[in-house]
Amino acid sequence: MGNIAVEIQDVSKRFRLYHQKYTSLKERVIHAGRTPYTELWALRDIGFEVEEGQTVGILGRNGSGKSTLLKCVCGVLQPTEGQVVVRGKLAGLLELGAGFQPDLTGRQNIYLNGSLLGLAKSDIDKVFDEVVAFAELDQFIDNQVKFYSSGMYVRLGFAVAVNVDPDVLVIDEVLAVGDERFQRKCLDRVKEFQTEGRTIIFVSHSPDQVRAICDQAVVLSDGRMVGHGTPGEAVRIFREHLLEAGDILALGHGDDEAGQAEEAGPITVTTTDSSHPIRITEVTVEHPGTGERPYLITDEPLTVSLQYSAASVMTASFVVEIRDDQSKVLLRTVSGDLGAPLEIPAGTGTVSFQWATFPFLDGVYDVSAGVEHQAGAQLYDWKESAAKLEVMNPTKNVGLLNLPVGVTLVPDR
């Protein structure tokens, strides 16, 4: 085991939710200065360690305590119980605009944030041009940040955080606010930090991003840690808890407002008694060599079958994902995207996805499958790494796919 960069030791955080406030002197005297409130425990007994050089992701639904935990790590909030120990210089990028003074210019906010991170003015002078260049705010750096767009806020905040030479970088899911090009730029910088052996803790709304970037992941649910392990295992637990809660999956949307709402009170989650009207009971992979050899030969036909059990007549879409050994999604197929969603009778049955030729080259791939609402808004069931697909490539082609190609030579005359 390497040196420990961050220790989160049995951390709990309690907030008081006041139902009404007495503003007049008479009211305060009548109630003897006591204001009624209820207690909300945003975090309960959270404990794990992050080794130096590790990248740890935090997954959880809205209101699970993710942003509150990051604020405790950054020192913005003090735990009610337990403690957080950080070794080395920490830079944090929390919710949109955190740490910025709206009436100051971008230039002034860079120096303000740098000083809060413990840098002398001479140190900030050295990195100032890099911060502005990364944020792409040359023309606006002397404007007050209250006139910045949300994307400009994010760019400036991330640029400061990654250019102050931190040992530990903490990032909330505000990166979802930036445009796609800037998100790629930020991810490239995160990978540079990983290569340099820096420690990173971040919240992401994307399980696939956690798979691709993280060494370990933590899953929070209702303020408690319900999972801690490899990214694949954490994603499985995360999706299981979404299903148990009957949550609506906000596909393509982050929950970066969760941290702001956590301090004001719990977030209302849509739950219905019919959140599990259909289940996937088994996933099987078949090819011409099934039963005789464990692998499919490149360009052979492939069938992935999903056995299901439906409680009533319904319309839904089935999903198949195929990932490589780095958990990167190589193929995602949704039945609803191929035409009309399937009309499913009550009872059991099988839905088959069929490829006349499967062009993948050598490798062992994970097959995951699920079933979702016809509009893709709610996930009914999901089977993570439900089957394995091994492919053997008999050709000399290298890469990922074996695609038909023609070669023509036309000499000049």
Q: What's the pLDDT tens digit per position in 365-376?
A: 999 999 988 776
Distance CA 255, CA 250 (A): 9
CB 221 within 8 A of CB 60: yes
Q: What's the pLDDT tens digit per position in 365-405?
A: 999 999 988 776 678 899 988 999 999 988 878 888 988 88
Q: pLDDT band at residue 208, thresholds of 50, 70 and 90?
A: confident
Q: What average pLDDT does this structure show over 264-291?
A: 68
CB 201 within 8 A of CB 73: yes
Gyration radius of the chain over CA positions:
25
Least reliable range by pLDDT among 18-27, 134-143, 276-285: 18-27
- What's the pTM? 0.68
Please say whether the dihedral angle defined by the alpha carbons of residues 349, 351, 356 and 360, taken in this order, is positive or negative. negative
User: Residue 352: enclosing H or E segment and its boundaries?
Assistant: strand 347-355
Sheet holding 37-51, edge to edge: 37-51, 4-18, 81-86
Q: Which domains does the chain have, with CATH numbers?
A: 4-88+167-264 (3.40.50.300), 278-392 (2.70.50.60)
CB 319 within 8 A of CB 306: no
Q: What average pLDDT does this structure show over 327-352?
A: 88
Helical pair 121-135 and 150-163, crossing angle rounded to 10 deg: 130
CB atoms within 10 A of CB 84: 18
Residues 126-158, buried b or exposed e (16+ Cβ, 10 A)?
Answer: ebbeebbebbbbeebbeeebeebeeebbbbbbb
DSSP bridge partners of 200: 55, 169
Q: What's the pLDDT tens digit per position in 236-272?
A: 788 777 766 655 443 333 333 333 333 333 322 223 3
